[in-house]
């Protein structure tokens, strides 16, 4: 397994890979990991709408949701940005002190959302390269 650096918790990710019956097909890990990126894309759209609506509660909920999914896969950088979104959605700084200024919260969430979208795009490229085309995609191309 390649070293994904600090972006991925290799211990967690290797446990997911161990669940594959066939290492060549990755029939368990491939859909789980690649499905995460579809889920993340949908969640980012919902986050953007909540941001446009200045709905901090919804942003906190969505941040919490995606934080859990990314943590389960060992995607550290995504998890950490989602934690920021969750915290500021709760009107709290990252050190858990109160942040009463809603505009500060929205600005911090905007910055975190921009970062997490970019980080997710980069990680998706890395993961798609790692997994390669699905076995049925190879056959479809022939």
Question: What secondary structure letter does DSSP report for 7?
Answer: G
Q: What stretches of the chain show up as alpha helix (H) in DSSP? A: 10-17, 29-52, 56-73, 76-89, 102-131, 135-141
pLDDT value of residue 10: 94
Residues whose CB is less than 8 angstroms from the CB of residue 30 and which lie 6 or more positions away in sequence, other chains included: 131, 134
Fold of 5-134: 1.20.120
C-alpha span between 112 and 110 (Å, rounded): 6
Average pLDDT over every residue of 18-29: 91
Say whether pLDDT at 85 is over 80.
yes
Average pLDDT over every residue of 6-31: 93
3-class SS at 101?
Answer: coil
pLDDT value of residue 135: 65
The confidence band for 22, taking pLDDT boundaries of 50, 70 and 90, is confident
| Average pLDDT of the chain, as a whole number | 93
Are the C-beta atoms of residues 105 and 80 closer than 8 Å to each other?
Answer: no
Say whether pLDDT at 73 is over 90.
yes
Domain range list for the chain = 5-134
Average pLDDT over every residue of 42-51: 98
Question: Which range (48-52, 70-74, 130-134, 136-140) has the least confidence?
Answer: 136-140
Average pLDDT over every residue of 59-75: 98
What predicted TM-score, i.e. pTM, was given to this entire model?
A: 0.91
The confidence band for 137, taking pLDDT boundaries of 50, 70 and 90, is low
Say whether pLDDT at 142 is over 60.
no
C-alpha span between 62 and 100 (Å, rounded): 20
């Amino acid at each position: 397994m390649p070293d994904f650096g600090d972006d991925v918790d290799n211990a967690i990710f290797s446990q997911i890979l161990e669940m594959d019956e066939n290492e060549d097909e990755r029939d368990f890990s491939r859909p789980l990991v690649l499905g995460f990126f579809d889920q993340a894309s949908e969640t980012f759209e919902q986050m953007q709408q909540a941001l446009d609506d200045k709905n901090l509660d919804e942003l906190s909920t969505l941040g919490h949701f995606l934080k859990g999914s990314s943590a389960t896969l060992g995607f550290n950088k995504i998890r950490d940005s989602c934690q920021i979104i969750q915290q500021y959605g709760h009107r709290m700084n990252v050190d858990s002190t109160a942040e009463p200024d809603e505009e500060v919260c929205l600005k911090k969430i905007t910055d975190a959302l921009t970062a997490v979208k970019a980080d997710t795009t980069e990680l998706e490229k890395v993961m798609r390269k790692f997994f390669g085309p699905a076995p049925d995609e190879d056959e479809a191309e022939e």
